[in-house]
Amino acid sequence: MPLFVWVGLGILATGLATLLLAGGDGSILGLATGQFGALIAMLSLLVVIGSGFFFGQRQKMRPRLWHLAAWITIALIAGLAYPYRGFLGIE
């Protein structure tokens, strides 16, 4: 298995151990336990998918950066449109 997969699994294991040791009460790093669990899951996915961006392709850097910019643009548009979902009739 590639190294970045092990890093993602390590993040998940560390987060799980932290959640188990916290016992479900209070907060971890200022976040509720549910929010902390979601943060750990998203962070591990970011590591695995992001490392695939840097290490998984055998093409030049310019097309990769172009695709990254396109995905960032899509995410920004979705993030900016989310508060207006009721107004736009999406809800």
Mean pLDDT on 42-66: 74
Rounded to two decimals, the pTM is 0.54
> Which residues span the domain enclosing 33?
1-56
What is the C-alpha R_g of the chain?
Answer: 18
Residues 9, 48 share a domain: yes
Q: Name every residue whose Cβ is closer than 8 Å to that of residue 53 and which is 6 or more positions away in sequence.
A: 64, 68
The sign of the dihedral angle between the CA atoms of 38, 44, 49, 51 is positive
pLDDT attached to residue 48: 74
Residue 80 in tokens: 């900016």
Could you tell me if 52 and 67 lie in one domain?
Answer: no
Q: Residues 49, 65: one domain?
A: no
8 A C-beta contact, residue 2 and residue 55: yes
Q: Report residue 22's pLDDT band, with 50, 70 and 90 as the boundaries.
A: confident
Q: Please, are residues 11 and 50 in contact by the beta-carbon 8 Å criterion? A: no
Question: What average pLDDT does the chain have?
Answer: 77
**What is the pLDDT at residue 24?**
66
Secondary structure (3-state) at 31: strand
User: Higher pLDDT residue, 20 or 53?
Assistant: 20
Say whether pLDDT at 70 is over 80.
yes
